């Protein structure tokens, strides 16, 4: 008899560039793995070269990129894979699309002041925005629309990734389906 996997869940971590999305995703994956929950992380920095090999960061390209990201996350979840999406998703519409399409979905906002993001930026994105070589950086040259209904807000300028991960784990109940509460 073939056993059909129960659907996985999707957790979208959104926030300004350099707000700590990837660090939080990695901390959550480690913590969930320790609890026996396997998770795939879809990080936009890793997927962008695959989905948009020569990115221009136009609005149309972003629309296609995030639609593809939601489809990919949904496909994995339908096959029983739990997914953490670490992606700016600068428009509410992108995250709303995911919320409508995915039955087990939650949104986490890595709230962080723009100045702190600038200081943390290891990729030079904010420097590029300042000198004009990057014109569509969310929060600077393109809008970043703050979440309307995030299930969790973590202030990543004050919390370590591990502290933020613990808050997310204790706030979003479906992340630990099948785990005894005393183990969390």
- Cβ count within 10 A of residue 149: 11
What mean pLDDT value characterizes the chain?
Answer: 90
Domain map (residue ranges) of the chain: 10-175
Instruction: Say which CATH class 10-175 falls into.
Output: alpha beta
Nearest to 94 by CA among 18, 12, 174: 12
- Residue 66, phi then psi, degrees to nearest 5: -70, -35
Q: Give the pLDDT means over successive 10-residue stretches in the chain (184 positions).
A: 71 97 97 92 93 84 94 94 96 95 94 97 91 91 93 97 95 66 45
Task: Give 100-137 pLDDT, tens digit per residue.
Answer: 999 899 999 999 999 999 999 999 999 999 998 889 99
């Amino acid at each position: 008899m073939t056993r059909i996997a129960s659907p996985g869940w999707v957790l979208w971590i959104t926030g300004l560039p350099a707000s700590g999305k990837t660090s939080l995703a990695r901390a959550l994956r480690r913590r969930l793995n320790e609890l026996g929950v396997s998770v795939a992380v879809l990080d936009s920095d890793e997927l962008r070269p695959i989905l948009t090999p020569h990115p221009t960061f136009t609005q149309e390209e972003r629309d296609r990129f995030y639609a593809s990201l939601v489809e990919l996350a949904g496909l994995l979840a339908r096959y029983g894979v739990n997914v953490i999406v670490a992606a700016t998703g600068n428009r509410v519409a992108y995250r709303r699309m995911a919320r409508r399409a995915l039955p087990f979905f939650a949104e986490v906002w890595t709230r962080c002041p723009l100045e702190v993001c600038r200081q943390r930026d290891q990729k030079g994105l904010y420097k590029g925005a300042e000198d004009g070589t990057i014109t569509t950086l969310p929060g600077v040259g393109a809008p970043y629309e703050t979440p309307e209904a995030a299930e969790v807000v973590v202030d990543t300028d004050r919390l370590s990734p591990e502290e933020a991960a613990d808050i997310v784990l204790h706030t979003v109940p479906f992340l630990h389906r099948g785990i005894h509460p005393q183990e969390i």
